[in-house]
Structure 1
Amino acid sequence: MRHLLTRTTRRRVVGALAAAFLGTTGLTAPTPAAPAEAPAAPALDDGLARTPPMGFNNWNSTHCRAEFNEQMVKGIADIFVDKGLKDAGYQYVNLDDCWALPARDANGKLVPDPARFPNGIKAVADYVHSKGLKFGIYTSAGTKTCNSAGFPGALGHEYGDAQQFAEWGVDYLKYDNCNNQGVDAKSRYTTMRDALRAASRSTGRPIVYSICEWGENEPWEWAADVGHLWRTTGDISDTWGSMLSILKQNLPLAPYAGPGHWNDPDMLEVGNGGMTDTEYRSHFSMWSIMAAPLLIGSDLRSASDETFDILGNKEVIAVDQDPLGKQGSVVSSEGGRWVVAKEMRDGSRAVALFNETGSAQRIATTARALGLPEADAYTLRDLWQHKSYNTAGAISATVPAHGTILVRVSADGQWAKNPPAVELGLDGSTLVEPGKPSALTTSVTDLGRTPATRVSVSLRGPEGWTVKANSPTTAAILPTGRALRTKWTVTAPADAPPGSYELTLKATHRSPSGVRAESVLPLTVSVVVAPPSGTSHLGDLPWLSSANGWGPVERDTSNGESAAGDGNPLTVNGVVYAKGLGVHAESTVEYYTGKACETVTAQVGVDDEEGTEGSVTFEIWADGTKAASTGVLTNAQAAQPLSADVSGAQVVRLVTTDGGDGITSDHADWAEASLGC
């Protein structure tokens, strides 16, 4: 659940194993570390959670609001059935915090809130079970839960609470970490494991056990015979930066996951509104290839058709639920261009080509690099487009900003019946000034073992834009590895306001037997205007893009919490600043400077609202070059001056990292940040 009072409780979430995977900028990830040895601890031998649990948890969508009640929970169970989520594999309908009264009864038992659950918890569990689904509940391994109202926790009441849960019909327990009184984590969580076992023996009710101690005590090292899944990170929020940070922390823990014992990078945010559908597809793709639990965190009562399409994609879910139970591992990660591959039980490989950057990127690998056997060709199945192709061994694509191409590649001998895979590409800057022609070059490359015939390409822009081809847009035949390259002139209207716009690159081709195939690549271009001459506060200028570890980037206030506009005056070591940017590591804010600016200056430091835990590194990047860096700063330090020469740069990036210590609660201020042009 969310920690409502403060994020300073989210501590260290990964050890040295993860450090090699944490990018040094918002757009860069270093070379991955060597795989770790598999853990020595055996998994629980009880037959539960042989694949990652799938279901729903109410917290992200309702928190503790009055709408969290019996009717809402029953409604979610109905939606599971009516919308096909049950058929797609979702099982658990789970309650989070705020279901109980603040005090136990005279016998020390938990009491459901009669306003929320007038018929008790068992009645809700019975209803969920009547739909062929399973039911989950929440408490904390402390004296109270994490909510500020202070509902009863289970510390010292483990056996009684576990028995009560089992008698109610609970199938899943999420066990949080607040108010734990400093009791050793392994001891606290092991006691509840033993209590659940005892309750199961007496009632016949097995309960999946979800350990939620935020990765503070590295549970992947010891919890495989304690729980069925364990949180590896602090809480997720509905932002690209938060999802990306958590993804990077969870990826290197692949050796610790398997049937009955899973790494849990927190719930899904798909559909909550803080990210685009492209980003949500990436979120769902990467959680699936990491064999993560898939717990829906959006309000299904008001979810869009696109949300249901993402959550209900059975081909992607099959990657998550593959019975071999391997978590995907990083093949490469240079420059924010990630290749993550997962071995499947049938010998195929699921492959995610994931682009963490703010512009389209070509991402490539090969069947050999994935560990597939040598073959004349391979079948490549696009799991979002639901189409199959043949490839001679190359797996590559131009992936939109923040996008993911998820494919399944197999040496199944069936490749010849499919048309050849083609790769769409783009050369040239996607930054366009109003009224000024810009040159772009597109490519259509045959990746297949068979030739692509009758190839045709088109490029279309928004209404009012001019898009003109300056070279051929068709080819009669493309042999393996050959490309049709087309030059274009693109002009935005003179009155086009700054912002992001979409061009659509589309290609059609046929296999030698005449099977038609179509490929589409959405391309985001930015209409940009150079900053004014003189000195400008960066908080007053539009940015090209921003990514933030928690909540949005704030102008002239601190980061605050997860909502927009909830920050405080920028304050570093007691000094208040009127202007600047409030961010949360890891964070990147990009500005178009159009080769017209010379300097960036700022007073940088950890904001005082952080408390005593913060440590952050501030960096200024000019195009692809790091122009200045502070090194690690803590909240004990006063703001430090930071300046950089950015002469000749087209794009300037302000980057904050977590200082390399794995802490995710880092509020950082770019106070008095200004740009000289």
Structure 2
Amino acid sequence: MGFNNWNTTGCGAQFNEAMVKGVADTFVEKGLKDAGYTYVNLDDCWALPQRNAAGNLVPDPVRFPNGIKAVADYVHSKGLKFGLYSSAGTKTCANEGFPGGLGYETKDANQWASWGVDYLKYDNCNNTGADAQTRYKTMGDALKATGRPILYSICEWGSNSPWNWAPPVGNSWRTTGDINDTWSTMIGIAHKNQPLAQYAKPGAWNDPDMLEVGNGGMTDTEYRTHFSLWAQMAAPLLIGSDIRTASAQTLTILENRDVIAVDQDPLGKQGTVVSSSGGLVVMTKQLANGDRSVTLTNETSSTATVSTTASAAGLPGAASYKLSNLWSKAVTSTSGTISASVPAHGTVMYRVSVGTGSSIGTTHPLISASSQRCLDAEGARTTPGTKIEIWDCNGGANQAAALTSAGELRLYNGTQCVEVHENATTPGSVVQLWTCNGGTNQQWKLNPDGTITGVQSGLCLDVTGGDKPAGNVNGTALELWTCNGGANQQWILG
């Protein structure tokens, strides 16, 4: 788990020492380190185009005026690890053509170890047609000979079926070509990686490439699918967006510790496909404590019901099972059917265990995925007609929400209800506080995809204008709006 700059900077001028240090700072300041992200990795273009007279790699003095060791030392000072890039060829993959490691394996490995490198991404460009297994094993042996623990990421693109030979050579191996920030590429890579589950094990992982979450080419719903599937496939989680400027909705995805726990589960099993038909795909992943993680993915362009059973997911026979939704945090029970209405390009992800449970009647803050702020009755007032808004979570009774068996959304320990003003059913309708009266305008449904819909209207509880940063500030009102999968319509039980 960590960061790689390539998907957000490439070889652009913004790739420099200040950026790398800023990412390390942000990992600590925004809780990413605490969530498990460890590596801060440089990709291509960190070196000069030529080696020096001694044959050593030379850091670009404009990008890295204090050298690479100084950057590594800074990253280490934050309690993080530092990674670097090269290629198993004469040159790297960038158009500029920086020196590759072919023929310089021992020299480069020793230099990197002296700088404090903890991770090597080793690409496959300009390889002169030399045997891939030989090239990658030579570098792997050189890294081991340094005596420094260096995670070895084999970036061979799956060209020579590395899953058959890479496990004793490195710690991960790319199974596909490069990802880009589109739904079609991301889901296509998932399809190529899914059948390789048998080859993954602790210390040796299939790598479907870095995360695109937060780069802007996919919707929030698609990014949740991206992150869910990578976790289900026990893939490396390397952030590929500029985390220094990440939005709240991006952080909500990347810092989801329940999903991360599935990815990092110590059993080390990659999830497998249970069923796949008509774009509706179910995966199951065995977890160390006996639970199963189940993903229900809808790859089609319209909402669909995706279903499986506890038995098909690999769970033992039981009278009931507890479904813990890893995105909304809602808990429900089932006698065996695992099913959800899933939006287009969406994924519902459950942790399934033997037993029962329910979120109905329990009290939680309701946290908006677009702002990480809580549903709130303005000013802690109890007066009927009080605005319902988002505000910094503070544990107040005006943020203590309970969804009842009648579908009411009660605040103030159950004395007041969230309702739609004057029974309105159109987009833009006002949401307010009112004395509970059993009206259908006070009935809500918490859906498996994290949306909350008004029973009377079928519209979603929406942070007004929350699809833009300016719409996620304290005091922003809630309203009804057409359901669209945006993070400002996603709610998490705190």
When normalised by structure 1's length, the TM-score is 0.56
| Residue in 2 that maps onto 1:116 | 63
| Residue in 2 that maps onto 1:7 | none
CA spacing shift, 1:460–1:185, aligned 2, 3 Å: farther
| Residue in 2 that maps onto 1:454 | 406
Separation in 2, partners of 1:410, 1:147: 47
Structure number with greater Rg is 1
Unpaired runs of 5+ in structure 1? 1-53, 421-451, 465-471, 477-487, 491-501, 507-519, 526-677
- CA offset digits 1:121-171 (Å, max 9, x no partner): 000000000000000000000000001111000000000000000110000
From 301, 324, 332, the equivalent of 2:275 is: 332
- CA offset digits 1:154-200 (Å, max 9, x no partner): 00000000000011000000000000000000000000011001112
CA contact (8 A) 2:331 2:357 kept: no
Alignment of 1:383-532 (within 5 A): 383-411=326-354, 413=355, 415-416=356-357, 419=360, 453-455=405-407, 461-463=426-428, 503-504=459-460, 523-524=483-484
CA contact (8 A) 2:440 2:456 kept: no
| Residue in 2 that maps onto 1:359 | 302
| Residue in 1 that maps onto 2:26 | 79
CA contact (8 A) 1:330 1:340 kept: yes
| Residue in 2 that maps onto 1:194 | 141
Match for 2:460: what amino acid?
A: T
* Identity in percent: 64
From 190, 215, 218, the equivalent of 1:272 is: 215
CA contact (8 A) 2:325 2:348 kept: yes
Match for 2:16: what amino acid?
A: N
Separation in 2, partners of 1:162, 1:196: 5
Separation in 2, partners of 1:380, 1:327: 20
| Residue in 2 that maps onto 1:63 | 10
Match for 1:189: what amino acid?
A: Y
Separation in 2, partners of 1:314, 1:273: 22
Structure (1 or 2) with the greater strand fraction: 1
Match for 1:265: what amino acid?
A: P
1:206 aligns with 2:153: no
| Residue in 1 that maps onto 2:321 | 378
The alpha carbon displacement at 1:221 in A equals 0.9
Match for 1:369: what amino acid?
A: A
The SS at the match of 1:333 is strand
The SS at the match of 1:454 is coil
Match for 1:454: what amino acid?
A: A
1:156 aligns with 2:103: yes
Higher RCO (C-alpha 8 Å, min separation 6): 1
Alignment of 1:553-572 (within 5 A): none
The SS at the match of 2:33 is helix
| Residue in 1 that maps onto 2:37 | 90
Separation in 2, partners of 1:74, 1:373: 48
| Residue in 1 that maps onto 2:48 | 101
Root-mean-square deviation (CA, aligned residues, Å) is 2.8
1:281 aligns with 2:233: no
The alpha carbon displacement at 1:389 in A equals 1.9
Match for 2:330: what amino acid?
A: K
Match for 1:277: what amino acid?
A: D
Separation in 2, partners of 1:419, 1:378: 16
Match for 1:299: what amino acid?
A: D
Structure (1 or 2) with the greater helix fraction: 2
Match for 1:266: what amino acid?
A: D
Match for 1:256: what amino acid?
A: Y
Match for 1:401: what amino acid?
A: A
Separation in 2, partners of 1:131, 1:456: 46
The alpha carbon displacement at 1:393 in A equals 1.6
Separation in 1, partners of 2:13, 2:271: 39
The alpha carbon displacement at 1:456 in A equals 7.1
CA spacing shift, 1:64–1:362, aligned 2, 3 Å: same
1:346 aligns with 2:302: no
1:144 aligns with 2:91: yes
Separation in 2, partners of 1:87, 1:286: 22
- CA offset digits 1:261-296 (Å, max 9, x no partner): 100000000000001111111100110000000000
Aligned length: 397
The alpha carbon displacement at 1:373 in A equals 1.3
CA spacing shift, 1:505–1:152, aligned 2, 3 Å: same
Separation in 1, partners of 2:174, 2:481: 36
From 216, 223, 226, the equivalent of 2:169 is: 226
CA contact (8 A) 2:199 2:206 kept: yes
CA spacing shift, 1:249–1:521, aligned 2, 3 Å: farther
- CA offset digits 1:384-424 (Å, max 9, x no partner): 1122222222211100011110110001x4x156549xxxx
| Residue in 1 that maps onto 2:477 | none
CA spacing shift, 1:86–1:244, aligned 2, 3 Å: same
Separation in 1, partners of 2:425, 2:254: 30
Separation in 1, partners of 2:358, 2:227: 30
| Residue in 2 that maps onto 1:259 | 202
The SS at the match of 1:215 is coil
